[in-house]
Amino acid sequence: MSAVEEDGATHGSAVEQLREALSGTEQLVVRMGLEITAWNPDHLVGTLPVAGNRQPYGLLHGGANAVLAETLGSIAAALHTGASR
């Protein structure tokens, strides 16, 4: 995964723990190429390549959209609740 930034600076332990949890080779987000690129308390930014995640008509697969939305939503919730929850 790429560096995770909060307002231009690499963030500390909570984001590092999330990155480590997502970095295993068996993780769907790793296989699909999802990267968390930035976050702050108001938003979380992630990218997902279209290449390798297309449906038969060449468009981004709807399931890939769902993976992106669900993963970013889960990470945002975890960041707001803290590591102890």
CB neighbours of 15 closer than 8 A, spacing ≥ 6? 4, 6, 36, 39, 79
| 70 catalytic per annotation | yes
Is residue 62 within a helix (H) or strand (E), and if so which, with residue range? helix 62-81
Catalytic residue among 16, 20, 26, 70: 70
Residues with catalytic function? 70
